[in-house]
Structures are given as structure tokens and as C-alpha cells.
Amino acid sequence: MSQLPANYIEHHLTHLQLNLNNFTIGNGGFWTLNLDTFIVGLITALLIAGVTRYVAVNMKVGVPGTLQNVVEAAIGFVDRSVRDTYHGKSQLIAPLALVLFLWIFLMNTLDLLPVDFIPSLMRVAGVEHFKIVPTADPNMTFSMSITVFFLILFYNFTVKGWHLGKEVLTKPFGPWLFPVNVFFRLLEEVVKPFSLALRLFGNMFAGELIFVLIAMLPWWSQWLPGGIWAIFHILIITVQAFIFMMLTIVYLSMAHDSH
Amino acid sequence: MEINATLLGQLITFAILVWFTMKYVWPPITKAMQEREKLIAAGLEAAERSKRELEQAQHKAISIIQDAKRDASLVVDAAHKRSLQMIEEAKESAREEGNRLIAHAKDEIGREVNQAKTILRKQLSQLAVLGAEKIIKHNLDASMQKTLLDEFVAEL
């Protein structure tokens, strides 16, 4: 390894960025597009849309094929999770939960690719930085959690109407402590998108960092910690995708029911 | 960790993906899955029903076979009885026929005996006349002879 460890780590944690002010590669403050996150997110999204749409078009009521089985298993699993928790009429919740689960799972899985594999290929192609895991980019995780946040607000207002005001003012400490109630409620709602986004980001970022650290060990010793961490990471990948989906369902059903 | 316009880009991607899934993926797949569930339920129900029907059919077949056996034994009994009866009838008619033939033969024999007697009587009378003629040839004329002969025949 020719680089210093700090440089190596920093190299792996730097995005391929497009400055949207003048459309050149580089950082442009807020108006910067992380091309790697965006492109990988787009490819995985197209993959999910393509495969699920392909299955939907070729859907057989009779004996299903392998691919149809896989997609049906995912949909059945998400559908059961939604039905167990959410009892409203919205047709959006279940597809939303499915997309969250599949997309996060797929993007997380990219963490299992060897940390130097894609960046090396990209360097050959002339691209200096490329971060392959979109869920290790807070922009990705916050884009999903903010969508969920706005959906929570939307359902709170549309489903509860005027009852929402009463609920915010009187729960949980009764009408006389309404300033505390309002404060608590606002805190509760604002914390939701942060907890969703930061949990996923933190897990994936830390996981990636550990892979990078393992990659700095001597080559003959990497297989043991790398293997152990990769196997453990399969669990984290799945669990994080599931948690994000499940919490979204829970938050949205709470937005429907008075509590 | 820095927040930048990538957030907006990902928001759009996410929104489109959710919209696409909600519109073009979720409904057809869940619909087909529900259809299959119904199909399987119907299939199981049909299997259960046909099992019941099979059981009923087996019971029915058994009872039909028992009926048939009973009928067959009745028919055999009847036929047996009838054959015995026919044998009895045949014996009876044969006996009658035999008796009739015997009676007929007796009649025939009686008649032939009578016939023979008559013929014998006539021949004997002629022989007697011949004998008597030879003995008393001279004493009797023809008319006297005839009278005597008739008396003789009547006495036989």
C-alpha cells in the first residue's frame, strides 16, 4: 500500500461530486450533486422497477417461476407487515414500504462488494472518487426519511382534521399542561426523520468504514476479519432495511390512529 | 457528512420509484396472488368434496352389490323351484302317457282276441260242417243242413 492510511480512508470517503453552479466536477456548496450516490441510486431504482414490473407483466396465477417467487415472497412479506400494523385505507403505504425495503436492501448489499473493487475500476476509467454505497450518504437516507416525514404530516392533517389540534394540545399530560404537550409533540415528530435517516446512515457508514479499515491490514490476514464482518454485515443490511420499512409503517399508522 | 442537492435528486428518484411501484407493480402482483389464494382454496375445497363424493359412491356401490346379490339368490331359488316343478310335471305327464298307452294296447289286444275268436269260431264251424257232411252226407238235404249249421254256429 503506497498511500498513508489517513489518505486511503479519506479517499474512500470522498464522493464524486458535480458542482451544479457551473456543471464541473467539484464541490459547489449546497448546489452539489453526489454523482456516485445519484447514479447508483438510479441504477438500483431502475433495477427494482424493471424486475418487479417484468414480474407484474408476466404474472402467472398458476405455478410461479423462480423470479416471480422471489418477488412474491418480498411482496407477501411486506404486505403482511403492513396489514399487521396499518389498518387504514391508503393504497400508498404498502408500495411505499415495499420500495423502502427493496431499495434500501439492494443499496446496502453493495456494501458487500470489495471496497477497492469499484473505485479501482473507476480509477482506470479516469474517475478519482466513487462511493458505491448510497445508503452511507446522508443525502440518500434523509431523502427517504423526509418523504416519510411529509407523509406523516399529510396523513395527520387529512385523516384527523380538527382532532389533531385537540390531540396535540391535550396528549399526553392533559389540557392544563398544553405548552409541554405541544413541545413534546413537535419534538416527537421532528425526531422521527432524523432517527430514521441517521440510524441507516450510521450503520452503513460505520460498516463501510470497517471494511476500509480491514482493507488496510496485511493482505494475508484480511480474509478472517473481512469474512466475519461481511457475514455479520449481511444481518445488518437486512435488519436495517427491515427497520426502516417497519418504522415507516408504524409512524404512518400512528398518523392515522389517535393515540 | 454534508447535506447538498443530492437530497433533492434522491427525493425525486424515490418519489418516482414509489409512484411507479404503486401504479404498475403492486396492484397486478397482489391481485394475481389473491387470485391464486382463491384458486388454491377452491381446489382444496373441491378435493374435499370429491373425497366425500367418492365415499358416498363407495357406499352406494356396496349397497348396489348387496342388492344384486340378494336379487341373484332370489332368482336362483326361483329357478331351482321352477325346475323341480317342471321335473314333477314331466314325470306326471309321462306317467299319464304311459297309462294311456297301456290302456290302448289292452283295448287293441282285446279286440284282436275277439277277432281271432270269431275267425276261429268260423273255421271250427266249417270244419265241423265238413266233418258232419262227411258223416251224414246222404240223410240231409241242403236246406236242413243249413239250418243245422246255423244253430250250431249260434251255440258256439
**Is A52's CB within 8 Å of B4's CB?**
no
Closest-CA residue in chain B for A13?
B1
Closest-CA residue in chain A for B30?
A75
- Mean pLDDT (chain B) is 90
A172 preceded by cis ω (within 30°)? yes
pLDDT for the residue numbered A61: 85
Given a contact cutoff of 8 angstroms between Cβ atoms, the answer to whether A103 and A42 are in contact is no
Given a contact cutoff of 8 angstroms between Cβ atoms, the answer to whether A37 and A137 are in contact is yes
Rounded Cα gap, residues A157 and A169, in angstroms: 15
pLDDT for the residue numbered B84: 96
Test the B interface: residue of A47, A54, A61 with most B CBs within 10 Å: A61
The residue behind cell 249249421 is B149
pLDDT for the residue numbered B150: 83
pLDDT band at B69 (very low <50, low <70, confident <90, very high): very high
Mean pLDDT of B142-147: 77
For residue A54, what is its C-alpha cell? Answer: 417484468
The nearest CA of chain B is from the CA of A165 a distance in Å of 29
**Is B10's CB within 8 Å of A41's CB?**
yes
Mean pLDDT of A101-119: 91
pLDDT for the residue numbered B52: 96
Is B98 a residue whose pLDDT tops 90? yes
Beta partners for residue A19, in sequence order: A24, A32
pLDDT for the residue numbered B1: 61
Closest-CA residue in chain A for B11?
A143
pLDDT for the residue numbered B156: 72
**Is B24's CB within 8 Å of A20's CB?**
no
Query: Which chain A positions have a beta carbon within 8 Å of B25's beta carbon?
Result: 49, 52-53, 55-56, 95, 98
Told to judge if A53 belongs to the known catalytic residues of this protein, a careful annotator would answer no
> Which of A17, A61, A95 lies nearest to residue B22, judging by beta carbons?
A95
**Is A30's CB within 8 Å of B3's CB?**
yes
**Is B21's CB within 8 Å of A57's CB?**
no
Told to judge if A120 belongs to the known catalytic residues of this protein, a careful annotator would answer no
Given a contact cutoff of 8 angstroms between Cβ atoms, the answer to whether A159 and B23 are in contact is no
Q: How much of chain A exceeds pLDDT 70, in percent?
A: 98
Phi, psi of A18 (to 5 degrees): -115, 125
Rounded Cα gap, residues A139 and A131, in angstroms: 13
- Mean pLDDT (chain A) is 89
Query: Which chain A positions have a beta carbon within 8 Å of B26's beta carbon?
Result: 75, 91, 94-95, 98
Is B135 a residue whose pLDDT tops 60? yes
Confirm or reject contact between A62 and chain B (CB < 8 A): yes
How many CB atoms are located within 10 Å of the residue A103 CB? 28
**Is B13's CB within 8 Å of A41's CB?**
yes
Range in A126-130, A204-208, A235-239 the model is least confident about: A126-130
Confirm or reject contact between B30 and chain A (CB < 8 A): yes
Rounded Cα gap, residues A246 and A233, in angstroms: 19
Mean pLDDT of B82-91: 96
Rounded Cα gap, residues A181 and A177, in angstroms: 6
Residue B60 is which amino acid? K
pLDDT band at B73 (very low <50, low <70, confident <90, very high): very high
Element at B18 (helix H, strand E): helix B6-20
Given a contact cutoff of 8 angstroms between Cβ atoms, the answer to whether A117 and A101 are in contact is no
**Each residue's pLDDT tens digit, A198-236:** 999 999 999 999 999 998 888 898 889 999 999 999 999
Is A175 a residue whose pLDDT tops 60? yes
Is A174 a residue whose pLDDT tops 60? yes
Mean pLDDT of A172-184: 85
For residue B12, what is its C-alpha cell? Answer: 425525486
Range in A4-8, A80-84, A129-133 the model is least confident about: A4-8
Query: Residue A2 carries which DSSP code?
Result: -
Residue A236 is which amino acid? I
Confirm or reject contact between B14 and chain A (CB < 8 A): yes
Element at A25 (helix H, strand E): strand A24-25
Distance of CA A82 to the CA centre of its chain: 18
pLDDT for the residue numbered A3: 61
Given a contact cutoff of 8 angstroms between Cβ atoms, the answer to whether A138 and A41 are in contact is no
- pTM as predicted: 0.75
Secondary structure class of A3 (helix, strand, coil): coil
Distance of CA A189 to the CA centre of its chain: 19
Is A24 a residue whose pLDDT tops 90? no
Told to judge if A195 belongs to the known catalytic residues of this protein, a careful annotator would answer yes
Rounded Cα gap, residues A16 and B33, in angstroms: 42
Mean pLDDT of A147-163: 90
Secondary structure class of A34 (helix, strand, coil): strand
The nearest CA of chain A is from the CA of B48 a distance in Å of 20
Test the B interface: residue of A23, A52, A208 with most B CBs within 10 Å: A52
**Each residue's pLDDT tens digit, B107-133:** 999 999 999 999 998 998 888 888 877
pLDDT for the residue numbered A1: 44
Q: For chain B, which residues make up each domain, given as ranges?
A: 46-155
